[in-house]
């Protein structure tokens, strides 16, 4: 392992890679800060830029953009109450009240320290967990992979929120359906191309990601009069107040940061759960364990309430790299985009990555750690200036973001037809958003579709066309059971709880 760490450090500290890390963190912070654009869009926007780089540098740049964007999203949550992405919605609960009290500087500094703690603890865990899991996963067979992908898809649906499980599952299916468009990889048959040569290669992942996350998000933010009005009334960002934290305050939030980071990492590792769930969970737990008077402060500018989600979402962002690097299964929308980029480089993430491309594997892990340091030294002194970017009028920003999204896709394919396809997908994505259908599961379904089909085909071939591998092979059976539990666990628990509740009520009634 030490050899690997050494290799990772030497790759990550190469001057060009360090530059990429700085550029990534800065660009990520900037893009993440724009309301409506989160880490997924930020990483997607970077893909065309990274095509000219070698894989290690490219992935270091994207990793930098990722955690830069998570931090940038927190900045807009705190300063203008407009979260850049769903994982920083919780940050606004206490961050924005702090800013209103004139403590914006303190809130931003605390967010930076919390992100740093979360990212660092996450990176340390990643150093130990990822190689361990990578070694174990070398013994995985195609049936296990198939089961893991089913688990990833059901998990993302299960964590979609109450009442949304069905819709998230439908979106997974839609993503899988879209992944079948184009030439079948195993026997060369054209599927759903309707005779058009434009679809022979299938839909491009970048196109889908940009259209659903960048274009649709931006058009939605323009349509929504409430957000538009909110963003036009940007606070005066020139007076942020002091950025210093007192000793007492540090003492108060330190345990919160550690607790939330560990929890965030664990949640992040689970496929499909991601940073949003981690931040909500950490906030909830912290509120529950707080004293009564501290509890009353939550939502009104509590430091703990800000530190918890910030640590958790950064640790979870790092944690989500574990399934990506070791199993080749993205744990979140952003890692799904990165998976697409890695595949475009000709690198297949998974257990073999550890063996075939140890430089990529380790440099990503080490750059995670270095990136957090960069983020801290870059962002803390620059916050007052970066915050000025929020004052750029939307009338200028929005056309520019649209232009970068459209050109990003065009510069990869050089086919103007793709722009029209993007617009169609963007319209569909807006419709889905309005009907409350979550879009991340679709992206996950799309990226896993090809792999799921290949592994199922191989598993059937190995098992003489019998589906018995699902229950004959213990590992596959365990993963499938987990998938079923992920899907039906919560509704079953609710049912049991309501039955017990009814019974208790009946008993009370009988006793009376």
Q: Quick one: 215 or 278, whose CB is closer to another protein?
A: 215
Sign of CA dihedral 201, 206, 211, 212: positive
- Binding mask of the shown chain, residues 169 to 208, with x at each position contacting another protein by CB under 8 A: xx--xx-xx--x---x-xx-xxxx-x--------------
The reply on whether position 427 binds another protein by CB under 8 A is yes
Report d(CA 321, CA 123) in Å as an integer.
10
Q: Quick one: 40 or 442, whose CB is closer to another protein?
A: 442
Instruction: List the one residue from 37, 215, 303, 338 that touches another protein (CB under 8 A).
Output: 215
Report d(CA 321, CA 311) in Å as an integer.
16
Hey, how many other C-beta atoms are within 10 angstroms of the C-beta on 78?
30
The reply on whether position 217 binds another protein by CB under 8 A is no
State the nearest-atom distance from the C-beta of 17 to another protein, in Å.
18
State the nearest-atom distance from the C-beta of 509 to another protein, in Å.
28
The reply on whether position 393 binds another protein by CB under 8 A is yes
Q: Quick one: 136 or 400, whose CB is closer to another protein?
A: 400
Q: Tokens 């998974």 correspond to what residue?
A: 350
Binding segment (CB under 8 A) for another protein, from list 114-122, 126-134, 371-379, 429-437 = 429-437
Instruction: List the one residue from 410, 413, 470, 485 that touches another protein (CB under 8 A).
Output: 410
Kindly tell me the burial class for residue 288, based on how many C-beta atoms sit within 10 Å of its own C-beta (0-12, 13-18, 19 or more): exposed
Are the C-beta atoms of 20 and 61 separated by less than 8 Å?
Answer: yes
Report d(CA 333, CA 331) in Å as an integer.
7
Instruction: List the one residue from 406, 447, 482, 486 that touches another protein (CB under 8 A).
Output: 406
State the nearest-atom distance from the C-beta of 232 to another protein, in Å.
10
Element (H, E) at 44: helix 39-50
Report d(CA 59, CA 9) in Å as an integer.
15
Nearest to 60 by CA among 326, 346, 342: 342
Q: Which residues contact 496 (CB under 8 A, 6 or more apart)?
A: none
Q: Which residues contact 79 (CB under 8 A, 6 or more apart)?
A: 96, 99, 104, 108, 234, 235, 237, 387, 390
State the nearest-atom distance from the C-beta of 294 to another protein, in Å.
35
The reply on whether position 155 binds another protein by CB under 8 A is no
The reply on whether position 512 binds another protein by CB under 8 A is no
The reply on whether position 436 binds another protein by CB under 8 A is yes
Judged by CB under 8 A, the number of residues near another protein is 62
- What is residue 249's three-state secondary structure? helix
Report d(CA 267, CA 199) in Å as an integer.
37
Nearest to 122 by CA among 333, 363, 322: 322
DSSP letter, residue 183: E
Binding segment (CB under 8 A) for another protein, from list 30-38, 223-231, 277-285, 325-333 = 223-231
Token pair in block for residue 58: 């490219």
- What is residue 459's three-state secondary structure? helix
Kindly tell me the burial class for residue 352, based on how many C-beta atoms sit within 10 Å of its own C-beta (0-12, 13-18, 19 or more): middle
Instruction: List the one residue from 465, 508, 509, 511 that touches another protein (CB under 8 A).
Output: 465
The reply on whether position 430 binds another protein by CB under 8 A is yes
The reply on whether position 395 binds another protein by CB under 8 A is yes
The reply on whether position 485 binds another protein by CB under 8 A is no
- Binding mask of the shown chain, residues 39 to 78, with x at each position contacting another protein by CB under 8 A: -------------x--------------------------
The reply on whether position 230 binds another protein by CB under 8 A is no
Task: Point out which residues bind another protein (CB under 8 A).
Answer: 52, 166-167, 169-170, 173-174, 176-177, 180, 184, 186-187, 189-192, 194, 215, 219, 222-226, 228, 393-396, 398-400, 402-403, 406-407, 410-411, 414, 416-420, 422-423, 426-427, 430, 432, 434-437, 452-453, 456-457, 460-461, 465
């Amino acid at each position: 392992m030490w050899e690997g760490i050494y290799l990772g450090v030497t790759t990550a500290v190469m001057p060009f890679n360090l530059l990429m890390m700085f550029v990534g963190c800065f660009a990520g912070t900037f893009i993440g800060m724009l309301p409506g654009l989160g880490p997924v869009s930020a990483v997607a926007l970077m893909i065309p830029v990274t095509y000219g780089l070698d894989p290690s540098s490219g992935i270091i740049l994207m990793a930098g953009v990722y955690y830069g964007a998570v931090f940038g999203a927190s900045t807009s949550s705190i300063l203008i109450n407009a979260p850049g992405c769903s994982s920083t919605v919780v940050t606004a609960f206490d961050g924005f009240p702090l800013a209103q009290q004139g403590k914006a500087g303190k809130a931003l500094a605390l967010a930076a320290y919390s992100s740093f703690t979360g990212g660092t603890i996450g990176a340390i865990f990643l150093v130990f967990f990822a190689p361990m899991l990578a070694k174990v996963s070398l013994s995985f067979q195609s049936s296990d992979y198939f089961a893991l992908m089913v688990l990833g898809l059901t998990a993302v649906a299960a964590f979609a929120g109450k009442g949304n499980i069905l819709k998230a599952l439908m979106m997974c299916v839609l993503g899988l359906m879209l992944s079948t468009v184009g030439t079948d990889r195993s026997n060369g048959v054209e599927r759903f191309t309707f005779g058009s040569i434009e679809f022979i290669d299938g839909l491009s992942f970048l196109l889908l990601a940009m259209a659903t996350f960048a274009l649709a998000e931006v058009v939605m933010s323009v349509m929504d009069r409430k957000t538009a009005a909110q963003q036009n009334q940007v606070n005066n960002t020139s007076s942020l107040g002091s950025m210093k934290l007192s000793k007492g305050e540090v003492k108060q939030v330190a345990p919160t940061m550690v607790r939330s980071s560990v929890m965030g990492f664990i949640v992040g590792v689970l496929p499909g759960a991601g940073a949003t769930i981690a931040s909500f969970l950490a906030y909830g737990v912290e509120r529950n364990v707080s004293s009564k008077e501290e509890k009353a402060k939550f939502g009104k500018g509590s430091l703990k309430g800000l530190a918890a989600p910030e640590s958790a979402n950064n640790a979870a962002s790092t944690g989500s790299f574990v399934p990506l690097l070791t199993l080749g299964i993205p744990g979140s929308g952003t890692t799904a985009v990165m998976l697409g980029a890695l595949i475009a480089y000709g690198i297949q993430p998974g257990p073999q990555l550890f063996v075939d491309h140890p430089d990529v594997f380790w440099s990503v892990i080490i750059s995670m750690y270095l990136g957090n340091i960069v983020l801290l030294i870059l962002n803390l002194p620059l916050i007052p200036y970066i915050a000025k970017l929020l004052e750029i009028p939307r009338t200028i920003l929005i056309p520019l973001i649209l232009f970068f999204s459209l050109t990003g896709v065009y510069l990869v394919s050089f086919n103007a037809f793709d722009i029209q396809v993007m617009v169609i997908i963007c319209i569909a994505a807006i419709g889905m958003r309005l009907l409350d259908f979550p879009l991340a599961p679709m992206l996950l379904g799309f990226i896993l579709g090809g792999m799921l089909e290949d592994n199922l085909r191989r598993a059937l071939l190995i098992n003489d066309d019998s589906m018995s591998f699902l229950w004959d092979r213990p590992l596959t059976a365990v993963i499938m059971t987990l998938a079923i539990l992920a899907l039906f666990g919560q509704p079953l628990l609710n049912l049991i709880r309501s039955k017990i509740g009814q019974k208790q009520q009946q008993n009370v009634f009988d006793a009376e």
